[in-house]
Amino acid sequence: MATESAGVDLVSVVTLLGAAVVAVPVFKRIGLGSVLGYLAAGLAIGPFGLGLFSDPMAILHVAELGVVMFLFIIGLEMEPSKLWAMRRDILGLGLLQVALCVGLLGLVGVALGYSYASSLIAGAGFTLTSTAIVMQMLQERGDLAAPRGQRIVSILLLEDLAIVPLLALVVFLAPGGETVTLLDRVQGIGLGLAAIAALVVAGVYLLNPMFRLLAASRAREVMTAAALLVVLGSALWMQLGGLSAAMGAFLAGVLLSESSFRHQLETDVEPFRGILLGLFFLAVGMALDLSVIAANWQLVAVSVLSLMVLKSLIIYVVARVNRAGHAEAVERTVLMAQGGEFAFVLYSSALAVGLLTAENAAILNAIVIVSMALTPVMVILHDRLRRAPEVSLEGIEAPDGLKGQVLIVGFGRFGQIACQPLLVRRVPVSIIDDDPEMIRAAETFGFKVWFGDGTRLDILKAAGADTARAVLIATDRKEVTTRIARLVRHEFPNAVVLARAWDRAHALELIREGVDHQMREVFHSALALGGEALEALGVDPDEIGAISEGILRRDAERLALQMTGDIYSGRSLIIGNAEHTVRA
């Protein structure tokens, strides 16, 4: 009997993996994205497709661990200082969007004839955007580290926190919910705050010593087990405190973001995150109850359309009120217009206390799942209307075991010039870039550029970073350059790290990350042009050289002062430099 049960379980696992392996590459190949591939595969093998699975909600509950692990990895990228810098977006932007959505989306249910209490809970559930879908989309688009991506992450964090008061609202609105006392509410809030405080204390004083002890044992599998223990233990602890499991994992990631074991933890958790997150999307596809949709198709269609249009309008208005440009506001609207996985938790709680009937809960779940399935389609349409189709990678090679004295990451206009002295001196170089068009263009001029994302440790190793004497980072995005510099300095301490800086503030940021040499991309060219202007006015070339050397020396002195925090770093400092130079 035990063997038969194990065989059935193994068949289920093989079926899930097979569906994903077949569907996702096909959907990505035809330009529909991986998320839609997972959803379609889940629908195909679920109760309303081939019927290979009968209880998709059970799989969904397990697969939610993928969302938990995803937020842990996001937390590893969020140093406490960066999170503190986002506080206005989290408390301002996120709170405003959540408050407006909860208040206005409930009007859709009222307009359809439902009670005020049921309508409010239905609208509140749809307010909670799918963290899994949005995070996956941001990662695939390379926008997680971008400012617009960080603002979306801020809103998602606030929405994760909002599940706590919304669950309390379910209890209050339920029949007999008025009997919940103020003391009960205060105790619930106190328990949540205590859970957060305990996790912070454990993160600050226990996690790093624990990983140092485990690292000394040199048992890789134990480090992997410890990483999973931290993620799942933090999630469980926050659940026991009445908070979101995903929020617990995120907080654990933040607490470990400055740890020397951060990259090791990310590498250990990543495979589990990817598999479980894919399983989550499969389970969502399975949970799409076609019989409920068929029986109530008019109600579902009107509700999906009404809720998504109204939520889109709110998101767009909030974005523009907070001074986002039209393009960013539209992109945020397209990404966040759906309901999310926390709606299932909210609706099941409302069903348990009698606030929703079983039929209403099934219809609401179907509405949320349909909106989640529509999101990848909306994103694809948005991207195709906004820019040209993605360039094919056919014929472009990825790095594999390259060796070179210098690794150049990024081969745009800056990298092309920076590599010329090395090539003249016949220094062996390996070059990677993530722009297929640029790689093909470089080939026409005799350059061999390999395709690769420099923010990934495995790509850097394959490109020869572990043996290179120097790594030259010439990417054209500030946040990407900083992330690569941090990764290279931590993982390859013997390499000299040189980086292209966007401006003075970015140069200081790179210096703090341990970059050996940074170069502001316009500083020396602008200085040379100023010298040319002096020469055109008849100034002696030796005097021009002395002036330039003086400016360079004072600039280096000011950078050193700014590193100690003695003077302000900002745009006005550049003006101050000019004034100082004129006085000199």
* Domain regions of the chain by residue span: 9-386, 406-583
Checking if the pLDDT of 313 tops 90, the result is yes
- Who wins on pLDDT, 394 or 504? 504
Q: Are 244 and 238 in contact (CB under 8 A)?
A: yes
pLDDT tens sequence across 393-440:
555 666 666 677 888 888 888 888 888 888 877 888 888 888 877 887
3-state DSSP helix/strand/coil percent for the chain, to nearest 5?
70, 5, 25
**pTM of this prediction?**
0.57
pLDDT tens sequence across 124-173:
888 888 877 787 778 777 676 677 787 888 888 778 777 767 776 776 77
Helices 358-386, 342-352: inter-axial angle, 10-degree rounding: 170
pLDDT tens sequence across 188-209:
667 777 877 887 787 777 777 7
- Give me the pLDDT at residue 566, please: 42
Tell me if domain 9-386 and domain 406-583 are identical in fold: no
Handedness of CA 537, 539, 540, 544 (dihedral sign): negative
- Who wins on pLDDT, 537 or 122? 122
Percent of the chain exceeding pLDDT 70 equals: 79
Residue 433, strand partner residues? 451
Give the residue among 37, 50, 42, 35 at the shortest CA–CA distance from 16.
42
Q: What is the mean pLDDT of residues 18-36?
A: 76
- Give me the pLDDT at residue 2, please: 44
Average pLDDT along the chain: 76
Tell me which fold the domain 406-583 belongs to: Rossmann fold (3.40.50)
- Extract the runs of DSSP E, i.e. beta strands, from 304-422: 406-409
Specify the residue for token string 């079983």: 358
- Give me the pLDDT at residue 398, please: 64
CA-CA-CA-CA dihedral for 295, 301, 302, 307, to nearest 10: 120
Identify which of 67-81, 164-178, 320-334 has the greatest average pLDDT.
320-334
Tell me which fold the domain 9-386 belongs to: Na+/H+ antiporter like fold (1.20.1530)
- Give me the pLDDT at residue 577, please: 39
**Which residue type sits at 210?**
M
Q: Spell out the alpha helix ranges (H) of 1-55.
A: 2-29, 34-45
pLDDT tens sequence across 351-396:
777 788 877 888 888 888 888 888 888 888 887 776 544 445 555 6
Checking if the pLDDT of 111 tops 70, the result is yes
